[in-house]
A and B are shown apart, each in its own frame.
Chain A
Amino acid sequence: KAGVTQTPRYLIKTRGQQVTLSCSPISGHRSVSWYQQTPGQGLQFLFEYFSETQRNKGNFPGRFSGRQFSNSRSEMNVSTLELGDSALYLCASSPGGGYEKLFFGSGTQLSVL
């Protein structure tokens, strides 16, 4: 089985722009969750989608949003980028509704200049 695929691998944007990141989960997995990883704050949960519905949300501003399609693929959008949004954005998939075992992609490294 193919693993979790995230595109693009690297991205450079400027302040004020918006960005969309993509995640393709493992085939058959219906849950996709997103995480932000920075040297200062570590790993932080953004949100989770299950069957096209946002089921859980972390403590991030509304500039961070996402969606899930009927084939379980997910996108994450960040609007009005700030320098502090520079981070590795990871997505993870799991077969069902819990977080017992997450399968992570390699992430998208976003740099905001």
Chain B
Amino acid sequence: LAKTTQPISMDSYEGQEVNITCSHNNIATNDYITWYQQFPSQGPRFIIQGYKTKVTNEVASLFIPADRKSSTLSLPRVSLSDTAVYYCLVVTTNTDKLIFGTGTRLQVFP
């Protein structure tokens, strides 16, 4: 069963690129990875989802290496409004288990 770990916190400055990594050593072949952003007093909000290699959308990129034991969420040119907690989620398709990461608190400074 996949177990996910993330750094507890990260600091950045406006305009910088931020990379948040999630480790999921026991990920199985058909499991997929999703990332969510959560602000205080709100539910998580979908950012991006991927299975392998690289996925890009209008707000982020997701890099998944060939061994799939980790994934990296990349936020280009962060702003103050990106200050939030970011969660990875591994969904195991053969058993339908949802394993959330511990969350990374990103603080963006001006």
Contacts and interface: CB of A to CB of B under 8 A. Distances in A.
B100 A42 contact: yes
Interface in B11-66: 32, 34, 36, 41-46, 49
A99 interface: yes
Contact of A43 (B32, B34, B100): B100
Given A43-B100, A45-B98, A104 B91 contact: no
A1 B45 CA distance: 16
A56 B32 CA distance: 17
Contacts of A100: 32, 34, 49, 91
Chain A contact patch, size range: 20 to 34
Contact of B43 (A4, A58, A99): A4
Nearest to B100: A43
A90 B100 contact: no
Contact of A90 (B44, B96, B102): B44
Nearest to B93: A98
Contacts of A55: 96
A24 to B, nearest CB: 13
Given A45-B97, A103-B46, A104-B36, 10 more contacts: A42-B102, A42-B103, A55-B96, A58-B98, A101-B46, A102-B34, A104-B45, A106-B42, A107-B42, A107-B43
Interface of A: 4, 42-45, 55-56, 58, 90, 92, 98-107
Q: Can you list the 10 inter-chain pairs with the closest CB atoms, starting with the nearest?
A: A104-B43, A43-B100, A45-B98, A99-B91, A56-B96, A104-B44, A90-B43, A101-B46, A105-B43, A106-B43
